[in-house]
C-alpha cells in the first residue's frame, strides 16, 4: 500500500500543493487576508503543475544534450523556467512577498532537478 502511494502522481501533486501552498501562506502571513490565502492557492497550484511536468521535462532535456551539457543544462533550464513562471503568475495574482514565496519552491526544484539529472546522466554514461 505504501509503495503504491509513493508511486502515485496524484499523491506527489497533492503533497506539493499542500507543502508549497502552506509555505506561501506563511511567507505572506504579515499581510491582510485574503492575500496569504490567495498566494497559498496560487503557489500550491503552480507547485502541483510543476511537480507533474518536471520529471518528464528533465528526461526529455537530458536526452537532447550530450556530454557535460546533459548534466548541467537540464536543471538550469528547469530552474530558470520555474522562476519565470512563478514570478509572472505571482505578480499577476498580486502576491505581496514574491521573493519569500518562491524561494523555497525554487530551492526544491533546483535540488530535485540537479539530483535527478545527475542520476540520468550517470545511467547514460554507464550503459
Please calculate the CA angle 89-92-96 and round it to the nearest 5 degrees: 95
pLDDT tens digits for range 79-115: 999 999 999 999 999 999 999 999 999 999 999 999 9
What torsion do the CA atoms of 18, 20, 23, 27 make, to the nearest 10 degrees?
-140
Provide the pLDDT for residue 117: 96
Provide the pLDDT for residue 6: 63
Helix and strand element counts for the chain (H, E) = 5, 0
Its pTM surpasses 0.85: yes
Amino acid at each position: 500500500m505504501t509503495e503504491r502511494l509513493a508511486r502515485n502522481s496524484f499523491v506527489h501533486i497533492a503533497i506539493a500543493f499542500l507543502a508549497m501552498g502552506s509555505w506561501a501562506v506563511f511567507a505572506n502571513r504579515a499581510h491582510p487576508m485574503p492575500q496569504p490565502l490567495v498566494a497559498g492557492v496560487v503557489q500550491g497550484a503552480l507547485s502541483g503543475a510543476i511537480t507533474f511536468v518536471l520529471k518528464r521535462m528533465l528526461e526529455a532535456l537530458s536526452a537532447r544534450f550530450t556530454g557535460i551539457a546533459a548534466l548541467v543544462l537540464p536543471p538550469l533550464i528547469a530552474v530558470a523556467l520555474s522562476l519565470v513562471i512563478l514570478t509572472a503568475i505571482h505578480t499577476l495574482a498580486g502576491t505581496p512577498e514574491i521573493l519569500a514565496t518562491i524561494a523555497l519552491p525554487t530551492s526544491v526544484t533546483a535540488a530535485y532537478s540537479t539530483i535527478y539529472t545527475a542520476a540520468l546522466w550517470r545511467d547514460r554514461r554507464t550503459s
